[in-house]
Amino acid sequence: MARHSTHLAHHFDNATQQFESSKLGMWLFLATEILLFGGLFVAYTVYRANHPEIFVYAHHFLDKTLGGINTLVLICSSLTMALAVRAAQLGQRQRTVTLLAVTLLCAFAFLGIKYVEYKAKWEHGLLWGRHYQPALHDASAGAHQVPVLPAAPPQAAGDGSEASLIAPAAPAPVGLAPQATAPAPPAGKHEPPADLAAPKNVHIFFGIYFAMTGLHGIHVLAGMIAITWILRRARRGEFGPEYYTPVDLVGLYWHLVDLIWIYLFPLLYLIK
Amino acid sequence: MSMSTHTPSSAADDNYLHHGRGLKSWLTTLDHKRIGVLYLISVLTSFFLGGLFAMLVRTELLTSGRTIMDANSYNQSFTLHGAIMIFLFIIPSIPAAFGNFVLPVMLGAKDVAFPRLNLASWYLYVVGAVFALVSILAGGVDTGWTFYTPYSTSTGGAVVWLTMGAFILGFSSIFTGLNFIVTIHKLRPAWMGWFKMPLFLWSLYATAIIQVLATPVLGITLVLLVLERTFGVGIFDPALGGDPVLYQHFFWFYSHPAVYIMILPAMGIISELVSVFSRKHIFGYRFIAYSSIAIAIFGFLVWGHHMFTSGQSGLANMIFSALTFSVSIPSAIKVFNWLTTMYKGSLRLDTPMLYVLSFLFLFTIGGLTGLFLGTLATDIHLHDTYFVVAHFHYVMMGGTLIAFLGGLHYWWPKMFGRMYSEKWGRTAAVMIFVGFNITFFTQFVMGSKGMPRRYYNYPPEFTIYHQISTYGSYLLAAGFVLIAVYLIASLFKGRPAPANPWGAGTMEWQCASPPPYYNFHAAPAEHDPYDFSHLRYDESIDGYLPAPGAQGS
């Protein structure tokens, strides 16, 4: 078929050599991605090993249900992606297109759920660094009450140079008062238990959470762009048994994006 | 079918320089040789810029107190000198300029595995360079090239521009390494097993492994630095419960392997040159090949030796110190193999060989002084002094740059089809050797007497050392200027080069100088790249030809 010769680049001897080279190249690129995320996993490990109380406390703010749904969504998308590669190999144009489209939809769903989660964090002041202001914005969420976090205790005299810069909880309109016992938390899934005292520097968790899930989200977005690109090529009938390399390579990338989330989910959401 | 030509290159109009004319054909090229030349021009431009900053730094240090600039400008000058030299010159230099040109030809291949990725990596280099230039104009950076927190997260200036430039340059490096690994795995001819490859390719392979595995860690480190700076994440800020030493761990986890990215290709060049210019088979081929891989692996285990005084535990210090000692062994193995190659060889002291000899002397000093720094008891006194500055200039400049210059003079006839003036070549090599030692040996002495690095002011007892060092640097700079002059002159007036002026055995010498754009009509036959017995000097072309009836063409 003409497709064979037009896809063989001049510097390769045969299609097999070209295909194997492409695969090796993609695996090497995936290795770089693993090292990239690896830095964040190391940061997670270092901070969790040194301050487990921060992670135990703060992970309660995450919604395990939404995180679990996202996990299922991505796993499904990996399945449809793998099936799409198979369909491309077999030259099944319509099936390839459909499966890639479903994969794309799953990715949209993932990002949609992440948006919902991020928005909730923003509204409840559950952010990184100095932006961690958990008692603010409470009026906007009626049923979602964030438990009172007592103001950070004053430093011992010995290390007075490390005065906490976290603002104490401001009095808010919904009847919260500093140092009051928290009202019985509503039957929500995302607050720490009332008897769990807040440790110092809870924001560290959120810094790591947003860095890891944010970088992951960027990679999901990049994957969506790549999937859209091969979806268009598949619609034009460009893939078949002699040439399906781009589908295969995008599939590999997508599986890695899924795999990274499969590590992120238990590490961030399922700590206790 | 003869691969070598007996006619000067200028007769072959389909050589890669003339195949397709005009700027656009160069900027959209997929020819690895042109990309190599684009990189060569780029890295040499960066070297010139980094060198300018070096001259500013050294001139400022002629006197303690203000000489030509204030302290703030001085901090920016040494920061940009370091950042430009490391990220824009040394790391890409040999792989991107010479590796790109020579690697496929040494394999008898038509190109690298991913030519478009290759061009993309050059464009990324250019973008990264633009970011670095913008940082100079947008307020400068005064953190040192290491961007240590918490200063880098809290100081003003264009830190984000420069770190994001380095981030982009990191991808340029990754793509080059990725390309080389796949090319070496997949585009070797059937007869060329791993242990029949030229050693330059072993060194490029080991380098590429480091590039692919280490550079992403720098990437995430710089991203975290930028996030910290712009969004106040707090991961490195003690006031927010963060740890600034964590930054150092992240940074050096890349930046130590990075120095092996710098030196391994240089060692590869030395392996090629020492054999050719001793007219003798390389000694200990397998040792040299394996030691390249050993350096790549061990290089990942020693980053903590940059942090002996950071407050990390004594146990960590001891482990890193021991590992640092062990990483010196494969390098020493190479040096002994090169010396043994020269032993009872027929030495030709052409310009490339002068750089080989310089390398052997200077790199050995640099490597040995690394042991003083790797020893905990002495490092306490030497850390952050000029001793460190001298050490890394001996290995990076006396090592990598000298080998780069050797490679430049070795492959220049092949790349551009012209011979340069041998007289001026040797003169410049000597100027550089002498100037280098005056500049930097003085700094070992200064450092051991306690002169700290990156300091704008100093007590009067150090003045004489600084002045000697600065005047040495002027001689060094003059040597570089001389090289630029005669090399550029050779492009216009140089004698046309034969295919094989040096009598080398690797495959690039079997095609014309400059090569045709397609490299070879047919892949060359099996041969040993270090067997010179089949080459005979031909006076009429002042080059080497396959001996009649001999194998290998």
Q: Is A43 on the interface with B (CB under 8 A)?
A: yes
pLDDT score, position A161:
55
Q: What is the pTM of this model?
A: 0.91
Residue A53 Cα, gap to closest chain B Cα (Å): 13
Domain count, chain B: 1
pLDDT of A146 higher than 70: no
Place of tokens 């599986």: A255
pLDDT score, position A168:
58
pLDDT score, position A118:
96
CB pairs under 8 A between A and B: 116
pLDDT of A170 higher than 70: no
Residue A77 Cα, gap to closest chain B Cα (Å): 26
- Confidence category of residue A7, pLDDT binned at 50, 70, 90: confident
Q: Do B233 and A24 touch (CB under 8 A)?
A: no
Residue B425 Cα, gap to closest chain A Cα (Å): 36
Q: What is the mean pLDDT of chain B?
A: 94
Q: Is A31 on the interface with B (CB under 8 A)?
A: yes
- Indicate the SS3 state at residue B536: strand
Q: Do A129 and B234 touch (CB under 8 A)?
A: yes
pLDDT of A156 higher than 70: no
Name residues whose C-beta falls within 8 Å of residue B313's C-beta, 6 or more positions apart in sequence: none
Q: Do B115 and A11 touch (CB under 8 A)?
A: yes
Q: Do B220 and A207 touch (CB under 8 A)?
A: no
pLDDT of A21 higher than 80: yes
Q: Is B239 on the interface with A (CB under 8 A)?
A: yes
Structure tokens at A212: 């890891």
Q: Is B2 within a domain? A: no
Structure tokens at B502: 């040096």
Structure tokens at B257: 């392997």
**Which stretches of chain B score pLDDT less than 70?**
1-13, 549-553
Q: Is B449 on the interface with A (CB under 8 A)?
A: no
> What letters, b where the CB count within 10 A reaches 16 and e where it falls short, cover B391-414?
bbbbbbbbbbbbbbbbbbbbbbbb
CATH number of the domain enclosing B162:
1.20.210.10
Residue B250 Cα, gap to closest chain A Cα (Å): 7
Q: Is B245 on the interface with A (CB under 8 A)?
A: no
Instruction: Give the whole-number percent of chain A exceeding pLDDT 90.
Output: 69
Q: Do B235 and A43 touch (CB under 8 A)?
A: yes
Q: Do B174 and A32 touch (CB under 8 A)?
A: yes
Residue B537 Cα, gap to closest chain A Cα (Å): 33
pLDDT of A151 higher than 60: no
Q: Is B246 on the interface with A (CB under 8 A)?
A: yes
pLDDT score, position A195:
83
Q: Do A11 and B238 touch (CB under 8 A)?
A: no
Q: For every residue of chain A, which 3-state class applies, written as one string?
A: CHHHHHHCCCCCCCHHHHHHHHHHHHHHHHHHHHHHHHHHHHHHHHHHHHCHHHHHHHHHHCCHHHHHHHHHHHHHHHHHHHHHHHHHHCCCHHHHHHHHHHHHHHHHHHHHHHHHHHHHHHHCCCCCHHHCCCCCCHHHCCCCCCCCCCCCCCCCHHHHHHCCCCCCCCCCCCCCCCCCCCCCCCCCCCCCCCCCCCCCCCHHHHHHHHHHHHHHHHHHHHHHHHHHHHHHHHHCCCCECCECHHHHHHHHHHHHHHHHHHHHHHHHHCCC
Please work out, in degrees rounded to the nearest 5, the angle formed at the alpha carbon of residue B88 by the alpha carbons of B85 and B94. 90
- Confidence category of residue A169, pLDDT binned at 50, 70, 90: low
Q: Where are the domains of chain A?
A: 21-135+190-269
Q: Is A23 on the interface with B (CB under 8 A)?
A: no
pLDDT score, position A189:
52
- Confidence category of residue A192, pLDDT binned at 50, 70, 90: confident
Q: Do B114 and A25 touch (CB under 8 A)?
A: yes
User: Residue B250's closest chain A neighbor by CA?
Assistant: A39
Residue A218 has phi, psi (to 5 degrees) of -60, -40
pLDDT score, position B548:
81
Q: Do A201 and B241 touch (CB under 8 A)?
A: yes
Which amino acid is it at B318? Answer: M
Q: Is A36 on the interface with B (CB under 8 A)?
A: yes
pLDDT score, position A181:
41
Q: Is A218 on the interface with B (CB under 8 A)?
A: no
**Test mutation, B178, B237, B518, chain A, max A CBs within 10 A:** B178
Q: Is B523 within a domain? A: yes
Question: Which of B179, B185, B250 lies nearest to residue A39, judging by beta carbons?
Answer: B250
Q: Do B242 and A11 touch (CB under 8 A)?
A: no
Q: Do B216 and A33 touch (CB under 8 A)?
A: yes
The superfamily (CATH) of domain A21-135+190-269 is Cytochrome c oxidase, subunit III, four-helix bundle (1.20.120.80)
Q: Is A181 on the interface with B (CB under 8 A)?
A: no
Range of the domain at B142: 36-546
Residues B222-253: tens digit of each pLDDT:
999 999 999 999 899 998 889 999 999 999 99
Q: Do B221 and A46 touch (CB under 8 A)?
A: no
Q: Is B114 on the interface with A (CB under 8 A)?
A: yes
pLDDT score, position B96:
97
CA pseudo-torsion sign B370, B376, B379, B383: positive
Residues B521-537: tens digit of each pLDDT:
888 899 999 999 999 99
Q: Is B276 on the interface with A (CB under 8 A)?
A: no
**Test mutation, A14, A36, A205, chain B, max B CBs within 10 A:** A36
pLDDT score, position B323:
97
pLDDT score, position A117:
96
Q: Is B76 within a domain? A: yes
Question: Which of B212, B217, B231 lies nearest to residue A129, judging by beta carbons?
Answer: B231
pLDDT score, position A167:
59
